[in-house]
Amino acid sequence: MTQRCRIGLINGDGIGPEVVPAAARIVDVALTRTGRSVEWIPLDIGRAAIESVGEAIPEQTLSALDDLDMWILGPHDSAGYPPEHRTGLTPGAVIRKRFDLYANIRPAVAYPGVPALSPQMDLIIVRENSEGLYADRNMARGTGEFMPTPDVALAVGVITRAATERIALSAFELAMTRRRQVTIVHKANVLMMTTGLFRDVCREIGQRYPQVQITEQHVDAMAAHLVRRGHEFDVVVTENLFGDILSDLAAELAGSLGSAASVNSSADKVMAQAAHGAAPDIAGQNIANPVGIIGSAAMMLDWRANRTGDHDLAVAATRIRDAVGSTLSKGIATRDLDGQATTTEFADAVVAAL
């Protein structure tokens, strides 16, 4: 019997209903070629959920994700929700917290045929995803930002040994499958206790991997190095805020933020979620770049394959990446990559390449 994969499918807001179905179609074709079938589990968050059940992140969506090992999440546009739905955690934050998706893996790869400021770039930023200075992730209850007076705003930053150890392990394990180089990014010259702890724990974990070359950079210097010599870096491990900023910079240097893939994972669950946002200004025009979410879906399959030994998933992921690369090398691309293809036309071309 054909083994079936159960995958959650959440379109989200803005361009999500255009790019997410494109990615699902490509995953479907790639897995079918390996003799597998997909059972898609459609779920709602965001504006669609508000309109149907009156809340941005319904409990029935979360309950359904409890029973799944992997899902694709489109972008959310919390700022565009009705005022009463803009307070509290965003849908993405609720999902991250519920499933402890502590590792945000963000590659920056320059595709052949795509104009890029750093055409040889091929690095991965391993971003700690559960704490740091992000107000939705650093308190057991409430938010990590507060105002003691109307003219003073404060933020709490959190770095823990436990969270740093597990993200460092993710980075060094990943480096063992690549060029065996890890760069620890911090700001311990100023944030001595917080990012100093992050640096020190990463160093300790690195001692377990004598085959891996370890370097360090302050975050401001790292931004400059990415611009000047981004192609020299392999795996970069850093805390939450630094990782968010550096990964967007690296994505643009490699071609476009719209092409930036990303997964969020825990020990046993993985969520494909492109690094870009909902882009409401171009929603509904069929011009959005689906490369980011397609690449995220391929990463999701790879992550699952590595955890389970499922060779078919790994083969499908490789075929998806090869098909995307082949399509872009032929000059078929969306407008943000200097092409003329619509979202649908690009997806059609990738399917043809598969």
In the residue annotation, 187 being an active-site residue is answered as yes
Is residue 258 within 8 A of residue 334, CB to CB? The reply is yes
Q: Which is catalytic among the residues 44, 81, 187, 302?
A: 187
* Nearest-angstrom CA–CA distance, 351 and 354: 5
**Dihedrals phi, psi of 104, to nearest 5 degrees:** -110, 110
* Nearest-angstrom CA–CA distance, 264 and 262: 7
Q: Which is catalytic among the residues 134, 234, 269, 302?
A: 134
- Residue 179: is its pLDDT beyond 50? yes
The Cα-based distances of 187 to 169, 198, 200, 241, 271 in angstroms read 20, 10, 12, 12, 29
Tens digit of pLDDT for each residue in 77-118? 988 899 988 877 889 989 999 999 999 999 999 998 899 999
Tens digit of pLDDT for each residue in 297-323? 999 999 999 999 999 999 999 999 999
Q: Where are the alpha helices (DSSP H) in 90-178?
A: 91-99, 161-175
Domain 117-254 listed as CATH 3.40.718.10: yes
Confidence of residue 220 (pLDDT cuts 50, 70, 90): very high
Tens digit of pLDDT for each residue in 236-270? 999 999 999 999 999 999 999 999 999 999 999 99
Second CATH level (architecture) for the domain 1-99+280-288+295-354: 3-Layer(aba) Sandwich (3.40)
In the residue annotation, 220 being an active-site residue is answered as yes
Which amino acid does the sequence have at 323? A
Please give the model's pTM, rounded to 2 decimal places.
Answer: 0.94
* Nearest-angstrom CA–CA distance, 10 and 58: 12
Q: Which is catalytic among the residues 13, 244, 302, 336?
A: 244
In the residue annotation, 248 being an active-site residue is answered as yes
The distance from CA 162 to its chain's CA centroid, rounded to whole angstroms, is 22
- Residue 157: is its pLDDT beyond 60? yes
Confidence of residue 1 (pLDDT cuts 50, 70, 90): very low
- The CATH 3.40.718.10 domain(s) of the chain lie at 1-99+280-288+295-354, 117-254
Which of 246, 228, 229, 249 shows the shortest CA–CA distance to 237? 246
* Nearest-angstrom CA–CA distance, 235 and 241: 17
In the residue annotation, 134 being an active-site residue is answered as yes
